[in-house]
Amino acid sequence: MKAFKLLPLALLMLFVTSCSSVKVTADYDKAVDFQQYKTYAFFKEGIDQAKVNDLDKKRILNAIDANLAAKGLVKTDKNPDFVINIFTKAQEQVNVTNNSHFYSPYGYYGWGWGPYWGPNNTTVTTSIEGTLYIDILDTNKKALIWQGIGTGYLDKAPNPEKKEQRINDFIEKILAKFPPVIEKK
């Protein structure tokens, strides 16, 4: 009986954790030796066109810098090995929940007085699903060599610190796949 009482709480926790996760995919050129890359820069012209406000753009770039520095890569303005471009996409998701009639053979809240048909509640909520693309281009070949894509729900952060943490989580999960681990044959 206790298990049935805890079931709604368990389902709520599963929903909350699944909504906060980031789905990540990555693609890369298998012919490229990623160990040769040591320095990078941002592709300013492309980043300027990214459809995200300047505060969030700065947070994204800072998170990329911190993540790549932790991997031993160095940012430079002079002849970088690769450049990074970002772009974003957002899509509104509409969720409709219909809580159908509740029937109790014992009446309203089990107090006798005949059967009870409860309210029919329909709730509509919206959320924003955001996608962040991180492109890495070889400066000598002038070609895309790696792309990471992170998709997740963007919540209205109550303060800048929470927003920054959410962006850092996004970037960390995307760049966890860079550089790719290529198995030697």
Q: What is the CATH number of the domain that holds 139?
A: 3.30.160
Q: At what angle do helices 54-70 and 160-175 cross, to 10 degrees?
A: 50
Q: Which residue has the tokens 């409709």?
A: 96
pLDDT at 179: 94
How does residue 133 score in pLDDT terms, banded at 50, 70 and 90? very high
Task: Read off the DSSP letter of residue 56.
Answer: H
Q: Report pTM.
A: 0.72
Q: What's the mean pLDDT in 29-35? A: 94
Pairing of strands 82-99, 39-42: parallel
Domain of residue 91, residue span: 24-175
Q: What's the mean pLDDT in 161-169? A: 90
Task: Read off the DSSP letter of residue 61.
Answer: H
| Side chain identity, residue 125 | T
Per-residue pLDDT for 94 more than 50?
Answer: yes
Task: Read off the DSSP letter of residue 121.
Answer: E
- Tally of CB atoms within 10 A around 108: 13
Is residue 108 one of the residues assigned to a domain?
yes
Query: Rounded to an integer, what distance in angstroms lies between the CA atom of residue 115 and that of residue 176?
Result: 57
Is residue 142 one of the residues assigned to a domain?
yes
Is residue 180 one of the residues assigned to a domain?
no
Q: How many structural domains comprise the chain?
A: 1
- Tally of CB atoms within 10 A around 110: 9
Is residue 69 one of the residues assigned to a domain?
yes
Query: Rounded to an integer, what distance in angstroms lies between the CA atom of residue 137 and that of residue 142?
Result: 6
Kindly state the tokens that stand for 137: 């281009």
